[in-house]
Amino acid sequence: MYTQGFGVSTGDLSRITRFDSYDRSVHSRDHPERVRKGMTTQKRRRPGETRDMLMEAALTLVGRGRHFASLGIREVTRQAEVVPTSFYRHFRNMDDLGLTLVDELGVVLRGMMREARANVLHADKLMDESVAIFVNHVQSNRNFFTFMAQGLAGESQAIQQGIRNEMQFFASELANDLRNLRLLTHLSDEDLDMACELVVRTVAFSLTDILSISPEDEEELTRIRRQTTRFLRMIFIGADHWQSS
């Protein structure tokens, strides 16, 4: 009914529909000899590329100061230089995209942990090294971590839970490592887990500190590094003198 409404069109008509024309900015790469019937060439991409571009576009916008909860489908597709309809080929809605991002977050965190394990060989430098590695990872995956910080108190229950789980997993891995390093051996498993959770939370909070400053502000950055290590040191001293009943 409403689709072929041109020309005379006796129906509800007289509505000036200035073509929606989704603001395809300057990029318009119409391979000139391939246009037929007013349809441009389809861009060839490796499979899953558009999907990745959409995720990256969302992260870019987040990194630019926007909050994930306020992003719209059209906005993301515009940033990804893709037509809005394409979105639905890969995600059901924005929450779906968010959940996929959380999965990828797991990968980033695991990578960080691997690096920490490889570099922190003896206990005396443990904290300074770990904090430094953490800060570096945040710096080089700023958008990702911003998304994570937002999601912790975010809109979608599912995303929130996902991030929470990642943190919990991280904490239990940390407890494992401490066991292997023969540290805090006097703590019961439960208490060790508790201590590690506290450590992870403290570091996560520092995350918001890092994100709130400009990435180039080396001075503030070392201040945060120092503060975080002091926090951790205090927690470890507490754990050291803790008596598991």
Partner DNA sequence: GCCTCGTGTGTACGGTTGTTCACATCTTGT
Partner DNA sequence: ACAAGATGTGAACAACCGTACACACGAGGC
- Distance from C-alpha of 243 to C-alpha of 188, rounded to nearest angstrom: 9
Taking CB under 8 A as the criterion, the residue among 54, 57, 112, 195 binding its own copies is: 195
- Distance from C-alpha of 98 to C-alpha of 69, rounded to nearest angstrom: 9
Q: Least CB distance from residue 109 to its own copies, whole Å?
A: 17
Q: Quick one: tokens of 42?
A: 């389809």
Q: Quick one: tokens of 65?
A: 């100061």
69-76 LR contacts (CB < 8 Å, sep 24+)? 69/150, 69/154, 69/155, 74/22
Residue 26 binds to its own copies (criterion: CB under 8 A) = no
Taking CB under 8 A as the criterion, the residue among 188, 212, 222, 244 binding its own copies is: 212
Taking CB under 8 A as the criterion, the residue among 34, 45, 67, 186 binding its own copies is: 67
- Distance from C-alpha of 193 to C-alpha of 172, rounded to nearest angstrom: 6
Residue 120 binds to its own copies (criterion: CB under 8 A) = no
Residue 118 binds to its own copies (criterion: CB under 8 A) = no
- The three-class DSSP label of residue 39 is strand
Residue 23 binds to DNA (criterion: CB under 7 A) = yes
Residue 184 binds to its own copies (criterion: CB under 8 A) = no
Q: Least CB distance from residue 150 to its own copies, whole Å?
A: 5
Residue 185 binds to DNA (criterion: CB under 7 A) = no
Residue 188 binds to its own copies (criterion: CB under 8 A) = no
Part of the chain binding DNA (CB under 7 A), chosen from 43-51, 108-116, 151-159, 179-187: 43-51
Q: In angstroms, what CA-CA distances link 151 with 10, 74, 155, 174, 226?
A: 50, 21, 7, 22, 26
Part of the chain binding its own copies (CB under 8 A), chosen from 45-53, 83-91, 97-105, 204-212: 204-212
- Write out 148-163 in H/E/C secondary structure: HHHHCCCCCHHHHHHH
- Find where tokens 């991409």 sit: 45
| Range 70-99 burial, b when 16+ CB lie within 10 A, else e | ebebebbbbbbebeeeebeebbeebbebbb
- Distance from C-alpha of 52 to C-alpha of 69, rounded to nearest angstrom: 19
CB nearer to its own copies: give 161 or 176: 161
CB nearer to DNA: give 44 or 182: 44
CB nearer to its own copies: give 64 or 125: 64
Q: Quick one: tokens of 95?
A: 């929450």
Binding site for its own copies (CB under 8 A): 2-9, 12-19, 21, 65-67, 69-70, 146, 149-150, 152-155, 157, 160-161, 164, 194-195, 198, 201-202, 204-205, 208, 211-212, 227, 230-231, 233-242
Binding site for DNA (CB under 7 A): 2-3, 5-6, 12, 15, 17, 19-24, 34-45, 47-51, 72-75, 78, 82-90, 93-94
